[in-house]
A and B are shown apart, each in its own frame.
Chain A
């Protein structure tokens, strides 16, 4: 076999002239966070080019497989006090989470972060299964970019993109609509332009599926005397899409009322188990040596010395915060953050590939249970943070 098989080709990063009017286009389409803190977040000065085989064999298929492997752990986790303790889920939420899984309460989407450059199997860095963002950039604005660059003759008409996100999101809303108690609200904290943009886009997808909803700032949600959550007209909220981590809701003042409030959450409570970095050692324990998994373990002592070739991550870290990398050469890289008090895991170091000084991480989306497309964020360092740039891609 080895003699006849061609050397696997590397993914390409290709420089391209940005559309001169891209900022105006972004603003026309409600993309108000294209620039963050003065630095470009949307970056179309380059794009990544994949072959169809790379996408289908190395990203789409493993994404589906990893998604199902992960779900296959759910039964055991929610019934195990030991595992729920290891995942640092507060005990008062255990039954509520287990019930939500038993009922298979509907979920909308998730994003898994994959490391891949075309030369070896994609490796799973982590799951963002509760509050994934960058969906608007991936689903909508990336699509518009390709369409316009084709119309202007800059990119070939035959170029494609792995991006069925919007179609599948609209479908997903249509299919869960019947199960959602009304009124149905979308929610995010009121001061994050990025989160508000993400929520506005998802709400738009819901409208296109014929699902009516409203927006309420998370801080405005009220509590009734019976322990139900209320909107600004004091009506009890039936369903709430919240772009806010479940584990933060748990420790917020109102968290204690969640199990009794009969509030349908999206993402549902059972996602608290999957958005937790503790799922990575559990996956490795159950499927050791899986080609798309990196060795990972719970770290009993978070202050112990980290040997070279390992990465330490807090269970609840977001946006690459508080990650500690011990490079194989003994050098240490730390990222700042506020997740200093929570338990940690250790994952084998597997560097992001480097293209012209950029380190891309592939966000592979799952809508419902279907692989739906990718969005690439790149940074100038090994740790992808919320300051990274979103760079579009094509299938050549």
Chain B
């Protein structure tokens, strides 16, 4: 026999092709302190709920960890700092989630929303997002802030994107 004994697909065909949702001209995100506020801004309530729930679930893991209440309270309101116990029985303190981020991507006229993680309110009223860093100063305006692709990607030291693919190169 000169052909494969079997062929199979384990991923392809079952799920749509995943294309990274990252067009810097079409992306924005917004911070909400409640699911209601999110829905009032015109985001589907189910997307708001999903973003909130996911952020809450992530918040205890992603929050900044402190050894003592004093350390936590130095940066965050002490009333929001909670004690937690890690797997080894050691205690640590984390601030409580103050709100959540939701990302909006508009591609080819289709708008989609993605959970974008928790945010924590600092004493200086700036906000800290574990995913995006301390860049998200809350203006209180409630608008969709446009974000560049490297900002969306996180707080690493990527200095630029988009330097490949300038030619609409195809296979042959």
Contacts and interface: CB of A to CB of B under 8 A. Distances in A.
Given A196-B17, A217-B22, A163 B158 contact: no
A386 B171 CA distance: 10
B12 A29 contact: yes
A200 B165 contact: no
A161 B2 CA distance: 6
Contacts of B170: 131, 133, 189, 192, 194-195, 318-319, 386
A252 B3 contact: no
Interface string A176-202: 000000000000011110111110110
Contacts of A318: 169-172
Given A220-B20, A224-B158, A204 B11 contact: yes
B80 interface: no
Interface stretch (B50-58, B136-144, B148-156): B148-156
Given A29-B12, A163-B2, A232-B20, A144 B165 contact: no
A189 B169 contact: yes
B122 to A, nearest CB: 23
A225 interface: yes
A243 interface: yes
Contacts of B172: 128, 131-133, 245, 275, 318-319
B126 to A, nearest CB: 22
Contacts of A234: 153-158
Contacts of B163: 221, 223, 252-254
B4 A254 contact: no
Given A131-B170, A131-B172, A318-B172, A160 B2 contact: yes
Contact of A252 (B8, B149, B152, B167): B167
B10 A207 contact: yes
B169 A131 contact: yes
B61 interface: no
A373 B17 contact: no
A218 interface: yes
Interface stretch (A64-72, A97-105, A164-172, A299-307): A164-172
A75 to B, nearest CB: 25
A162 interface: yes
A166 B4 contact: yes
B167 A395 contact: no
Interface in A313-348: 318-319
Interface string B8-29: 1111111001111010000000
Contacts, number: 180
Given A208-B8, A252-B165, A162 B2 contact: yes
Q: Which of B10, B11, B169 has the most CB of A within 10 A?
A: B169
Contacts of B74: none
A233 B12 contact: no
Given A30-B13, A189-B169, A223 B160 contact: yes
Interface in A239-266: 243-245, 248-249, 251-254
Interface in A352-392: 373, 386
A74 interface: no
A143 interface: yes
A194 B150 contact: no
Contacts of A194: 170-171
Interface of B: 1-5, 7-14, 17-20, 22, 149-150, 152-172
Interface of A: 28-30, 32, 52, 55, 128, 131-133, 139-140, 143-144, 146, 160-167, 189-192, 194-198, 200-201, 203-204, 207-208, 215-226, 230, 232-235, 243-245, 248-249, 251-254, 275, 318-319, 373, 386, 395
22 contacts: A29-B13, A30-B14, A128-B171, A131-B170, A131-B171, A133-B172, A163-B3, A190-B165, A192-B170, A194-B171, A216-B20, A220-B161, A222-B158, A223-B159, A234-B154, A234-B155, A234-B157, A248-B169, A252-B163, A252-B166, A253-B166, A254-B164
